[in-house]
Amino acid sequence: MYLFVVNKNSGNGRGYRVWTKISKILDERNIPYQHIFTQSAEQAHTLLMEKLSTSVKWLAVGVVGGDGTINSLLPALRDSGVPLAVFPSGSGNDTARGFHIPMETTAALEVMLAGLPKTTDMIAISGQSALTALAVGFDAEVAHNVNRSRYKKICNAFGLGRLAYVIGVFHTLLTFRPAQLTVECDGVTHNYSSAWLTAVNNVISYGGGLAICPQAITDDGLLDICIVHDCSRLKLLMLFPTLLYGGHTRLPFVTMLRGKNISVHSSLPRLALGDGEHLTSTPLTASIDPGVLQVMCPHPG
């Protein structure tokens, strides 16, 4: 039996359209399933916990929604042994990108039904979890502004979720101020006099496909960290096109780190978003949570 958690409102209503297509295929192929409709993270978590506590043997939990919907379900899925199947229908869809899940609904369904469960790490942040990335500073502020904006709904309506983040960058540049930053990674301290952002990643991309940590591997037991510091607003703006292919890692004002544990202290309070959701603020600590989740992925090759 397959279980689906459906956020009908994700992607400005795309979630419901995706679910309609999935359920039609399942019914035509006589594949047994149950589904849950949800309109909030709290409701999704509660309903999934109830379903997982029953005697039903769930083959996988398919999440129809964005990265935020998936994030709300991580505590229930962690160590459950039930694989997560991703049906991208949000704005960023970086979970799908990180695990090579097709954006097309029928292809994503085939991954759920015939793919391979892959054991993956997560990021632990003060009793909370993230699957893709923890954004601290400018990048978190961009996502926060996008989530509260009108232009996000407009972009989603036209299937242009990534464009909303591009607009968000310009929006945030108007007010954001860099600050002194101290990052400790596996006991080694790094100090920066004027830092813009710290990205702590488990997958390659965030923010709708920006390859912030191109060397990240989801099951290597390590966090990949990108720190952007000591540069002007113009240089920061010029950095973003290089994120599409990972070229930023060669720039002198970008520092890449890897480790199992990290702490971040800033002279100005900074938002910290996990999977695009507001989790905490600085100062903060994060660590790798190795091998605690299974994700349905396409067959290699």
> Is residue 10 assigned to a domain?
yes
pLDDT at 45 over 90: no
Phi and psi at residue 11, in whole multiples of 5°?
A: 60, 35
Q: d(Cα 297, Cα 279) in Å, to the nearest integer?
A: 27
Residues 78 and 182 placed together within one structural domain of the fold: no
Q: CATH no. for residue 43?
A: 3.40.50.10330
Q: Please work out, in degrees rounded to the nearest 5, the angle formed at the alpha carbon of residue 132 by the alpha carbons of 204 and 227.
A: 60
Is the Cβ–Cβ distance between 299 and 86 less than 8 Å? no
Burial class (CB within 10 angstroms; exposed 0-12, middle 13-18, buried 19+) of 127: exposed
Same-domain status, 267 and 168: yes
- Same domain? For 91 and 139 the reply is no
Residue 180 DSSP one-character state: E
Q: Are residues 155 and 85 in the same domain?
A: no
Q: The pTM is what? A: 0.91
Q: Which of 89-98, 149-158, 219-228 has the highest mean pLDDT?
A: 219-228
- The pLDDT assigned to 61 comes to 98
Angle 178-180-183 (CA atoms, 0-180°, nearest 5)? 115
* 56 pLDDT above the threshold of 80: yes
Question: Looking at residue 39, what is its pLDDT?
Answer: 79
Residues near 72 by Cβ (< 8 Å), separated by ≥ 6?
Answer: 41, 42, 44, 45, 277
Coil vs helix vs strand at 135? strand
Domain count along the chain: 2
Residue 182 token pair = 């101290």
Average per-residue pLDDT in the chain? 92
One domain, residues 251 and 154: yes
Q: What range defines the domain where residue 272 resides?
A: 133-290
Coil vs helix vs strand at 243: coil
The pLDDT score that the predictor gives to residue 161 is 65
Together in a domain, 153 and 272: yes
Let me know if residue 126 belongs to a domain. Answer: no
Residues 161 and 117 in one domain: no
Helices (H) and strands (E) in the chain, counts: 9, 15
Check if the beta carbon of residue 161 is closer than 8 Å to that of residue 90: yes
* More confidently predicted of 154 and 76: 76
What number of residues does the chain have? 301
* Same domain, residue pair 52 and 156: no
Interstrand relation of 179-185 and 188-201 (parallel, antiparallel or unpaired):
antiparallel
- Same domain (yes/no): 57, 165: no
- Whether 128 maps to a domain, the answer reads no
Residue % of the chain over a pLDDT of 90: 71
The answer to whether position 210 is within a domain reads yes
Residue 156 pLDDT exceeds 70: no
Q: Are 189 and 213 found together in one domain?
A: yes
Q: What is the CATH number of the domain that holds 282?
A: 2.60.200.40
Query: Residue 249: inside a domain, yes or no?
Result: yes
Per-residue pLDDT band for 101 (boundaries 50, 70, 90) equals very high
Task: Assess if residue 127 is contained within a domain.
Answer: no
Both 159 and 267 in one domain: the answer is yes
User: Quick one: average pLDDT of 200-227?
Assistant: 94
Q: Residues 96, 182: one domain?
A: no
For residue 155, pLDDT over 70 is answered with yes
Q: Is the pLDDT of residue 199 over 70?
A: yes
Residue 24 is predicted with a pLDDT of: 96
pLDDT at 206: 87
pLDDT over 80 at 79, yes or no: yes
**How many CA atoms lie within 13 Å of 238's alpha carbon, on the beta-carbon side?**
8
DSSP string, 186-227: TTEEEEEEEEEEEEEESSS-BTTTB-SSTT--TTSS-EEEEE
Q: Are 225 and 199 within 8 A, CB to CB?
A: yes
Alpha helices in the chain (DSSP H): 10-28, 41-52, 67-77, 94-98, 105-114, 138-147, 150-157, 161-173, 233-242
